Amino acid sequence: MTCYTARAETFILSPAGNSIQWQEWGDVHIVYQPSSAETHVFNETTALILKCLKQGSRSIQAVKDWTENALEVGQGDLATDDFVFATMRLEELGLIECLDDASAVQ
Amino acid sequence: MIVGDLSRRELGKRLAGDGLALQLGPFNLTIRSNLDSFASLAHQLYEPYPLPDAEAISDFHVQISAPRGLRRWVRRQACFGVDGQFPFAPYTVEHAFPALEWGINWCVATRAHHLLLLHSAGVERNGRAILFPASPGHGKSTLCTALVHSGWRLLSDEFGVVRPEDGLLLPLPRLIPLKNESIEVIRKFRPEAIIGPSFLETRKGTVAHVQPPVNSIRRAQEPARPRWFVFPRWVADAPLTLEPIPKSQAFLMVATNAFNYEVLDEIAFRLVTEMVRSCDSYSLIYSDLDEAVSALDELSRTDDV
Amino acid sequence: MFRAACETRRAQRLLLEALQEPEKLPGLPPADWELLLRVARRVRVLGRLESDLERAGLLEEIPERAAAHLRAARNVISHRNTLISWEVNRLLWALKGIDVPLILLKGTAYLLAELSPARGRIFADVDLLVPERRIGEIEERLVERGWFKTQIDPYDDRYYRVWMHEIPPLRHRERGTEIDIHHRLLPKTSHLKSDPESLFTAARPLADPQLHMLAPADMVLHALVHLFLEGDPDEGLRLRDLIDVHDLLCRFGEEPGFWSDLGPRARALGFERPLFYGLHHVQRLFGTPIPPDVLRGLEDAAPVWPIRQLMNRLIPLALLPGHPDYPSRWASVARWLIYVRAHWLRMPPGLLAKHLSHKAWLRFRGFRRRVDLAQLDLKQQ
């Protein structure tokens, strides 16, 4: 599982991620990001990843476990590809960051 | 004082001189034109619109004029200008009137960023408003025209103007442009409707302008509270359906359809959220105007308990 | 004719007084407000007026209708500034691990370094200066991370890469903001030489260690170069750019050594002529405090007397807006002349003729396909 920047173990919510404004409409999450003036639409999985990280930095595996738990699916049932895609996307949007010394050096 | 209080001659003089001042809802306009044909149409179609006070600040200075020089005689053209700039492709002189109307839309959409501008028709009755977020070609203007000739007040055909301070809708009751078959449809629906001449072969097909009922224009300074979002679609021979749609869908359709949602950052997000939370949202599919009007009348009565 | 000249002077006076003494604006009659809003919009200083009034706590004292226009301008500026700041944020993320000095230029620098020209000012793009030898690497990494090169015709692309001081703009696939990556401040073809190396050595770091801004003297000189050498045939010289220069001089003028450095730095970079014009006109229009010995020291950079007189006429004509209802033929000529001169300074005569005729041809073609009001998508990006 890789971040854009490096093989990393831990994610954290970025300052941008910490200041987003949520509106939940059923299982559609519409989120406003003040730092970029963007409005995003997130599905349940992506929203849960953000909620998990709101509690503090987590290893990738821990985020996955927590998300699976919240979705009430079995351990390891959440498609890895979907999960990776969601985290890559969140990183690209600047809402989460890799917390890893390795990421500083290419 | 209204435009109708000016003689045709006086109106022409103002247009050709320092400009005709006109009040359109929240905006004061100054219009100039050296075209006689335009002056006649303006006198007819803008008749009930109020003139602002002499000392009032004008928000937009627009003009629709034939260019000076040879071209004025050789190829009869009309150019839309704002503040002395003419950034747009010229029109034939016959299309001067619709060109000015489109030009005014441009001014509002590119300048009025102190307000949230939804792309939406709006009508009001008993203090509550329905907003019809636009999808081109789905018949919003036709439906809007039908409603305002059936007891509803026109807020606007094109711009849902939301005041950020309180979320109220500000009326902008301009002429309603109808296209192609809709013109005949409305003529049949309400023979007494005041419809201007048809402009053939414009970039949008045949266009004619409906003058809103005088009442809508007189009450242009009365805001309204939004109560319903209705997403209309005309489908030939379809039975009428009026169904609630999920709020998340309504939010996205309203936000993506606004003129300046992005520009207003957090304000827009908050306003659209509040509107969608406090309004009920429906999708409306219809083929018969009378049925559609009845259904919306019915909807508005659900609140009257 | 006479009325036109009177009205033009009135419009210009209103504008300059509003910029010089915003505290007097609450006393302005509605008719003057109406004209002021129109001319201010033309030269894009509505935001500046709003900012001045806001700082003075006077926004409630002006007519509501005028305040609405100013508020609209502020909303647009605030939004754009967010986009610019965010684009820099994403740029840093994308370039993580690539150790290259990034110097922010123009508005991007004013915004991120919180300098006064950023006040009430709209900036369209992100402007960066990077070492020429690193450009390929940076461009490649950005393309990997979601940016793409904007589609321009091959003539323009070659013009950029071979002759210019910047590569064609990059844009992220989801966001609208353009990134202009410069490797020098002036085109390679310019009569004025510029040496990028010394800019990097003199640059000052910002809060984020990877970001820098130009040293004060360099920043002022770049603003002047941008003002005089990047004109527009319709708009002439941008008044807003001269205001930037005024703000920068006021801000840095307090720093020890700034004024004594400015002249020699201009000489070293070959920018004395723009500095000469800039200082004279900024003082003339805005009363910028400039030590007399600095102006005296630049006298040998002055053009010969006839040209000097000509430019003294042309520059204000090209800078100040006319009255929107009374367009001036002379002003249009002045603006066009300044535009041609700007290009003359950027490229040798042969190239200039070719470039101008190509651009003229494009504009002629473009004129046929001017924006069609009826088909315009009015939704803001």
A104, closest residue in chain C (CA to CA): C97
CA gap B230, B243 in Å, rounded:
9
Residue A104 has pLDDT above 50, yes or no: no
> Is the minimum CB–CB distance between A41 and chain B shorter than 8 Å?
yes
Q: Do C30 and B55 touch (CB under 8 A)?
A: yes
Chain B residue with the nearest C-alpha to that of A40: B252
Partnered with residue B116 across adjacent β-strands are B162
Q: Mean pLDDT throughout C358-373? A: 55
Tokens of A78: 């959440």
Q: Which residue has the higher pLDDT, C369 or C215?
A: C215
Asked whether the predicted pLDDT for residue A6 surpasses 90, the reply is: no
Please indicate, yes or no, if residue A35 is contained in any of the structural domains.
Answer: no
Q: Give contacts of C38 with chain B, Cβ < 8 Å.
A: 61, 83
Contact with chain C for residue A15, Cβ under 8 A: no
- Asked whether residue A31 is domain-assigned, the answer is no
pLDDT at B144 over 60: yes
ipTM for this model: 0.94
The Cα A11–Cα B231 span in angstroms is 42
C327 CB neighbours in chain B (<8 A) are 84
Q: Quick check: B171 and B160 in contact, CB under 8 A?
A: no
| A80 inside domain | yes
Q: How confident is the model at residue C191 (pLDDT cuts 50, 70, 90)?
A: low
Pair of tokens at residue C305: 């007397």
- Residue C332's SS3 state is helix
What residues in C contact A4, CB-CB < 8 Å?
Answer: 93, 145
Give A1's pLDDT tier (boundaries 50, 70, 90): very low
Is there a domain that residue A95 lies in?
Answer: yes
Contacts of C78 in chain B (CB under 8 A): 265
Position A54 in a domain? yes
* Rounded Cα distance, C8 and C317, in Å: 11
B119: which chain C residues are within 8 Å (Cβ-Cβ)? Answer: 379
The predicted model scores a pTM of 0.91
Q: What is the DSSP letter of C210?
A: T
Could you give the CA distance from residue C21 to residue C15 in angstroms, rounded to a whole number? 10
Whether B239 shows a pLDDT value over 60: the answer reads yes
- Report the gap between the CA of C86 and the closest CA in chain A (Å): 5
Interchain proximity A16–C89, CB inside 8 Å: yes
Q: Where are the beta strands (DSSP E) in C195-257?
A: 204-205, 211-213
Q: Which residue of C has its CA nearest to B19?
A: C325
Closest Cα to residue C208, out of C81, C124, C82, C93?
C93
Q: What residue numbers bound the domain in which A71 lies?
A: 10-17+44-99
B91–chain C nearest CA distance, Å: 9
With CA atoms as reference, the chain A residue closest to C87 would be A36
B25: closest CA of chain C, how far (Å): 13
Residue B164, min C-alpha distance to chain C (Å) = 12
Q: Are B149 and B187 in contact (CB under 8 A)?
A: no
Q: Is A42 left (phi over 0), alpha (psi -120 to 50) or beta?
A: beta
* Residue A52 near residue A58, CB atoms below 8 Å: yes
- The reply to whether residue B106 touches residue C380, judged by beta carbons under 8 angstroms, is no
Q: Is A37 within 8 Å of B262 when comparing Cβ atoms?
A: yes
pLDDT for C149 equals 87
Per-residue pLDDT tens digits for C101-129: 999 999 999 999 999 888 999 888 999 99
Residue of C78, C79, C82, C378 to mutate, interface with B, max B Cβ within 10 Å: C378
Q: Are C210 and C143 in contact (CB under 8 A)?
A: no
Are the beta carbons of C96 and A5 separated by less than 8 Å? yes
Asked whether residue A37 is assigned to any structural domain, the reply reads no
Query: In degrees to the nearest 10, what's the CA dihedral of A54, A57, A60, A64?
Result: -30
Q: Mean of the pLDDT values across residues B281-293? A: 94
> Can you state the angle between helices C2-20 and C46-55, rounded to 10 degrees?
40
Contact at CB, A35 and C85, closer than 8 angstroms = yes
Q: C98 CB near a chain A CB, below 8 Å?
A: yes
Q: How far is A38 from chain C (nearest CA, A)?
A: 9
Instruction: Check A37 against C93: CB less than 8 A apart.
Output: no
Instruction: Please give the distance of CA C152 from its chain centroid, rounded to a whole number.
Output: 23
Please say whether the beta carbons of B187 and B195 come within 8 A: yes
- The distance of C282 to chain B (nearest Cα, Å) reads 27
Number of domains in chain A: 1
Q: C2-375 has which fold? A: Beta Polymerase; domain 2 (3.30.460)
pLDDT at C351 over 70: no
pLDDT digits (tens, 9 = 90+) for B243-255: 999 999 999 999 9
**At a CB cut-off of 8 Å and minimum separation 6, what does C88 contact?**
C104, C108, C112, C126, C211
Q: Report whether pLDDT(A72) > 90.
A: no
Residue contact B83–C324, C-beta within 8 A: yes
C-alpha distances in Å from residue B213, one per residue of B139, B193, C166, C313: 20, 8, 58, 56
Instruction: Kindly state the average pLDDT of the residues C250-267.
Output: 92
Other Cβ atoms closer than 10 A to C137: 13
Residue C83 and residue A37: Cβ atoms within 8 Å? Answer: yes
Chain C nearest CA to A61, separation (Å): 23
Of the candidates C89, C79, C78, C185, which has an alpha carbon nearest to the alpha carbon of residue C129?
C185
- Cα separation, C341 vs B234, in Å, equals 58
**B55 and A CB contact within 8 Å:** no
| Cα-Cα-Cα-Cα dihedral sign, residues C334, C337, C339, C341 | negative
Beta bridge partners of A32: A21, A39
In which element (H, E) is residue C255 found? none
Chains meeting B at 3+ CB pairs closer than 8 A? Answer: A, C
Kindly tell me if the per-residue pLDDT of C192 is higher than 90.
Answer: no
Structure tokens, B257: 């359809």
Per-residue pLDDT tens over the stretch A28-38: 999 999 999 99
What would the mean pLDDT of A19-31 be, rounded to a whole number? 92
Q: How far apart are CA C88 and CA C93, in angstroms?
A: 9
Share of chain B above pLDDT 90, in %: 86
**pLDDT at position C352, please?**
55
Q: Do B255 and A25 touch (CB under 8 A)?
A: no
The burial of B127, by beta-carbon neighbours within 10 Å (0-12 exposed, 13-18 middle, 19 or more buried), is given as: exposed
| Residues B265/A37, Cβ–Cβ less than 8 Å | yes
CA distance A29 to chain B (A): 8
pLDDT number for residue C347:
55
Chains that touch C (3 or more CB pairs under 8 A): A, B
Of the two residues C352 and B205, the one the predictor is more confident about is B205
The band of A2, judged by pLDDT with boundaries at 50, 70 and 90, is very low
Residue position matching structure tokens 């969601």: A86
The mean pLDDT value for C216-227 works out to 90
User: What is the SS3 string spanning B94-135?
Assistant: HHHHHHHHHHHHHHHHHHCCCCEEEEEEEEEECCEEEEEECC
Of C307, C90, C373, the residue nearest B109 (C-alpha): C373
Residue B215 reports pLDDT greater than 80: yes
For residue B129, name the pLDDT band (cuts at 50, 70, 90).
very high
The two structure tokens encoding residue B268 = 């827009």
Can you read off the two tokens belonging to residue B92? 């034939």
End-to-end CA distance of chain C: 41
**pLDDT(C75) > 90:** yes
CA distance B216 to chain A (A): 35
Tokens of C101: 């000095």
Please report residues of B whose CB lies closer than 8 A to that of C65.
Answer: 28, 56-57, 59
In this predicted model, what pLDDT tens digit does every residue of B30-53 receive, in sequence order? 999 999 999 999 999 999 999 999
| Contacting residues of B for C75, CB less than 8 Å apart | 113-114, 263-265, 267
Looking at residue C67, its amino acid is: A
Chain A segment 36-95 residues within 8 A of C by beta carbon are: 36-37, 92, 94
